[in-house]
Structure 1
Amino acid sequence: MISHWGDQFHSSGEIINAGTAVNQYVIQSYLGSGGMGQVYLAEDTRLHRRVALKFLPEAVRRDDELRARFLNEARAAAQLNHPNIITIYEIGDFNGAPFIAMELAEGDSLKEIIENSPLPPDKAVEYAIQLCDALSAAHRAGVIHRDIKPSNIHIVKGGKVKILDFGLAHIDGKELSTSSHSTTGTIQYISPEQVKGEKITARSDLFSLGVTLYQMLTGQLPFTGEYEASIIYAIVNEPPPAPSKLRPDIPDSLERILLRLLSKDPQNRHPSAEALKQDLLSAFDANSHPGTVKERRKGLLPMTIIISGVVVAAILFLVIFSSRLFKNDLEGKKVVAVLPFENLGVPEDGYFADGMTDAITTRLAKFEELRVISRASAMKYKDIRLAPQEIGEELGANYLLTGTIYWDKNHSPAQIKVNISLVRSSDGTNLWAESYEKVFDRVFALQADIADDLTRAFRIAVRSREAAGSEESPTTSLAAYDFYLRGIDYFNRSWFKDDID
């Protein structure tokens, strides 16, 4: 079937009647509205092919910004020649109304396909790999889409993916009506840097692709809220729910890729769409899904299979045997640095974020399987933005624990919201993330919950002594605890020593 092209674009523009001649095109039917325009099915009388014509509606075509964006879509997409990107045939004008003649995507939008149920992992990966191919071509041409989402992706005959609606695209070196620093795109799919009005790069498209892949696999969006403001807060501050919690059959390797794509910091995402594609192919092969991804090798010689089987058997034997020998060594390599938690509240509450950092550091240090970097060493990175690889190398840590904390004193009773992420320093992969919310008088239980969840994240078998220690509270008085944290904060400041003197 011919789909209804994207999200609804509300307009009072009149519909062009079937049979109307638009230059060499004859309108056959109205398809719908989306991507800043009204879309029609038309017949190209010169080349005898069916095309899609997109018009800027009468009611808004006099808006200079929308008109420029509309034409920018054509210019951006016209630069690209790729089987996974809708082809632009020409830019025309009909009675003063600009239009774009483009390839007709005869199929369903991805939004329609996943509306009722998520996709099998192999199918979702197959689509994602094609999207990577399309974005690689666009990014090489200096074009950033900035609005990747299921309604802008169509699946046509043979399962081929097509990206359309480059109306928000930014072309390197061009001054466009939509600044590269503006907040554009559909809110649930845009990256944290787009929300904050920061520089947009190709990795912003990868974040949006990550949201789309998450939705393909789980049927849910990773960042939600009742209002736009709450969605924006979630995108910027909150980790997404682990995909495996929503769908247990998602492979660990695929979950790792998803969480990396959804990293708040663009530097922690894949460096390019091509790198993402290779990661997806590796994950796909590692989990032995059915052979729908076309990148796989075929036709191996029987002798090669026999030799490979022998080699694999030998490797398996060595792995099983050596895993027993080096089990303790592997456990000993779990070196974690608890980096200073970021205070999202008023600046005066910074001492509380530091206190929470100290509490988690202390609790983790109780586990013999972990080696925890000292507070003094980790605190050097407060308010400093460095790549995980740099921090890990400087501290000698292969895991970094990061977090944000918000102390909502205006709420009755006062509440604490904490977001925690466990990152592998070698490549910046987000291995685990969780959100917590408790009233202030449950702050010690909150610390215990975080420590317990981290033991599971590290797959540590907790001994009874350590488990009991995780439930201990430094005091039963919350007021005393608050004063204690303030005192520690003053002690750690250089001028406190001067006050003592």
Structure 2
Amino acid sequence: MTGHEMLVDRYAVAGVLGRGGMAEVREGWDTRLNRPVAIKLLHPTLTADPGIRRRFEDEARSAARLCHQNIVTVYDFGDHQGTPFIVLERLPGQTLADIIATGPMPAAHVRSVLDDVLAGLGVAHAAGVLHRDIKPGNILVAATGDSMKVADFGIAKTGGAAHTMTGQIVGTMSYMSPERVAGAPASVGDDLYAVGLMGYEALLGRRAFPQDNPAALAHAIMDSTPAPVAAVRTDVDPVLAAVIDRAIARNPVQRFASAEHMRAALAGDQRAIRAGVASVGPRPATKVLTGHPIPAAPYVPQPARRRVRTYGIAAGALSVLAVSAFALAMDPASSAPDPQPVSTSAPAAPATSAPPPPSPVVQQPAPEPPQPGGPAGRGHGKGDKKRG
């Protein structure tokens, strides 16, 4: 498509703002409302693929349901001479990746960025939408320059659509959780894990897992944990450092239960910081919610729970051959270098956590009856709870 072509006699298309594996984003102008827009166009080579067209359409419909100041707004969707397009809010174009490229960010700025991202994700998750590709390149600076917006829900999980083909896991591996690398379905926790990795990268000015080789990167994610924030950057306040360290813990039960939980802890809410870890249960099937998206529910702190000793995430089950095979099976479009995106979304149910089983009570033996002529038997108090 050439510059300044008109889409459906309404949108004037100009220069390229960014390119991705599935689409490119062009600068545009809405001639009816006289405002700048961004126009996302499916690549011409992919327009004949019905599965990809369906994914693109799902993105537009689901993203249009998400209305929040920290999510890029979708204005319109259509088809122009066989090419699907999405019309989006036009932003300046700078991403969090651009900011990180200039060096480590001030801790206060990182805290503000993470709060914006979590606010947007909280709304998406409440509406049944998982992003599945949170990374600095998909976090855009708002037009006012004082906040961030989550963009590019292009591979968001959509109920009823098998967007992940057999043997493939879509997303950017550098920001995947160990469970996703091992092949588990996407969950709310995976989006939050990626938020933690972004915070780590923003503070240090480099990725937590810098490996370029897919097989080496998969091994690093599965077998290692980044150094604690405080060990690398001593000027970061303990609360921010602790939130990021907890968000990227290798063991999922040590992470946050929801975006609201993580956001409350980030704000210094001691109840959220002390709240027990989430339990690991079956990940629910994806579903599509009808009607308007519901607002994100506030985080309700739970009583502190007994920590459960864990031993990693199937560390011995993943062989070198399996990881290498996974790395080669990654969607090539998803492994490409980060574009400068402006985009959208699609629905999947947030994970729920089951409460841990109650602590067992150790029963003390009944007292022996006193022997004739001996001292009176002494009664026993309540059984002590066995400590884990």
Q: TM-score, normalised by structure 1?
A: 0.53
2:231 corresponds to 1:245: yes
State how far apart, in whole Å, the 1-side matches of 2:21 and 2:86 are. 12
2:90 corresponds to 1:104: yes
Which of 154, 166, 176 lines up with 1:167 in the alignment? 154
Change in CA separation of 1:274 and 1:43 when aligned onto 2, cut-off 3 Å: same
Change in CA separation of 1:145 and 1:187 when aligned onto 2, cut-off 3 Å: same
State how far apart, in whole Å, the 1-side matches of 2:61 and 2:221 are. 30
State how far apart, in whole Å, the 1-side matches of 2:51 and 2:205 are. 35
State how far apart, in whole Å, the 2-side matches of 1:248 and 1:137 are. 33
Number of the residue aligned with 2:383: none
Amino acid at match of 2:114: A
Change in CA separation of 1:118 and 1:194 when aligned onto 2, cut-off 3 Å: same
After TM superposition, list the pairs within 5 Å mapping 1:171-190 onto structure 2.
171=158, 173-178=159-164, 183-190=169-176
Conserved in 2, the CA contact under 8 Å of 1:35 and 1:165?
no
- Tell me the secondary structure at the aligned position of residue 143 of structure 1: coil
Q: Per-residue deviation at 1:191? A: 1.5
Number of the residue aligned with 2:132: 146
The structure with the greater share of residues assigned to helix is 1
Number of the residue aligned with 1:18: 3
Amino acid at match of 2:113: Y
Amino acid at match of 1:146: R
Change in CA separation of 1:280 and 1:224 when aligned onto 2, cut-off 3 Å: same
Number of the residue aligned with 1:234: 220
Q: Per-residue deviation at 1:124? A: 0.5
Amino acid at match of 1:269: R
Conserved in 1, the CA contact under 8 Å of 2:74 and 2:87?
yes
Deviations 1:328-366 (A, max 9, x none): xxxxxxx9998668885599xxxxxxxxxxxxxxxxxxx
Which of 258, 264, 267 lines up with 2:250 in the alignment? 264
Number of the residue aligned with 1:220: 206
State how far apart, in whole Å, the 2-side matches of 1:340 and 1:139 are. 29
After TM superposition, list the pairs within 5 Å mapping 1:27-426 onto structure 2.
27-34=13-20, 36-156=22-142, 157-171=144-158, 173-178=159-164, 183-282=169-268, 344=315
Q: Runs of 5+ in structure 1 lacking a partner?
A: 1-15, 285-334, 348-386, 397-425, 427-501
Q: Per-residue deviation at 1:228? A: 0.8
The count of aligned residue pairs is: 294
Q: Per-residue deviation at 1:390? A: 5.4
Whose RCO is larger (CA < 8 A, sep 6+)?
A: 2
RMSD after superposition: 3.3
Conserved in 2, the CA contact under 8 Å of 1:107 and 1:155?
yes
State how far apart, in whole Å, the 1-side matches of 2:125 and 2:166 are. 14
Conserved in 2, the CA contact under 8 Å of 1:181 and 1:194?
no
Q: Per-residue deviation at 1:395? A: 10
- Tell me the secondary structure at the aligned position of residue 144 of structure 1: coil
- Tell me the secondary structure at the aligned position of residue 167 of structure 1: coil
Conserved in 2, the CA contact under 8 Å of 1:35 and 1:167?
no
Q: Per-residue deviation at 1:31? A: 1.9
Change in CA separation of 1:342 and 1:50 when aligned onto 2, cut-off 3 Å: closer
Q: Per-residue deviation at 1:227? A: 1.4
Identity %: 33
Deviations 1:451-480 (A, max 9, x none): xxxxxxxxxxxxxxxxxxxxxxxxxxxxxx
Q: Per-residue deviation at 1:283? A: 6.9
Number of the residue aligned with 2:365: none
- Tell me the secondary structure at the aligned position of residue 50 of structure 1: strand
State how far apart, in whole Å, the 2-side matches of 1:341 and 1:193 are. 11
State how far apart, in whole Å, the 1-side matches of 2:197 and 2:312 are. 26
Number of the residue aligned with 1:406: none
Q: What stretches of structure 1 move > 6 A for 4+ residues in a row?
A: 335-343
Conserved in 1, the CA contact under 8 Å of 2:141 and 2:147?
yes
Conserved in 2, the CA contact under 8 Å of 1:180 and 1:199?
no
Conserved in 1, the CA contact under 8 Å of 2:250 and 2:312?
no
Conserved in 1, the CA contact under 8 Å of 2:23 and 2:42?
yes
Amino acid at match of 1:19: H
Q: Per-residue deviation at 1:391? A: 9.2
State how far apart, in whole Å, the 2-side matches of 1:281 and 1:199 are. 30
Conserved in 2, the CA contact under 8 Å of 1:261 and 1:269?
yes
Deviations 1:272-328 (A, max 9, x none): 1011111000179xxxxxxxxxxxxxxxxxxxxxxxxxxxxxxxxxxxxxxxxxxxx
- Tell me the secondary structure at the aligned position of residue 282 of structure 1: coil
Conserved in 2, the CA contact under 8 Å of 1:155 and 1:161?
yes
Q: Which has the larger radius of gyration?
A: 1
State how far apart, in whole Å, the 1-side matches of 2:155 and 2:122 are. 17
Amino acid at match of 2:102: N
Conserved in 2, the CA contact under 8 Å of 1:213 and 1:258?
yes
Amino acid at match of 1:158: G
Q: TM-score, normalised by structure 2?
A: 0.68
- Tell me the secondary structure at the aligned position of residue 41 of structure 1: strand
Deviations 1:91-132 (A, max 9, x none): 111111111111112241110011021111111001111111
Change in CA separation of 1:159 and 1:204 when aligned onto 2, cut-off 3 Å: same
Conserved in 2, the CA contact under 8 Å of 1:30 and 1:40?
yes
Amino acid at match of 2:139: I
Amino acid at match of 1:20: E
State how far apart, in whole Å, the 2-side matches of 1:275 and 1:106 are. 31
Conserved in 1, the CA contact under 8 Å of 2:209 and 2:220?
yes
Change in CA separation of 1:226 and 1:147 when aligned onto 2, cut-off 3 Å: closer
State how far apart, in whole Å, the 1-side matches of 2:3 and 2:312 are. 61
Conserved in 2, the CA contact under 8 Å of 1:56 and 1:98?
yes
Q: Per-residue deviation at 1:240? A: 1.2
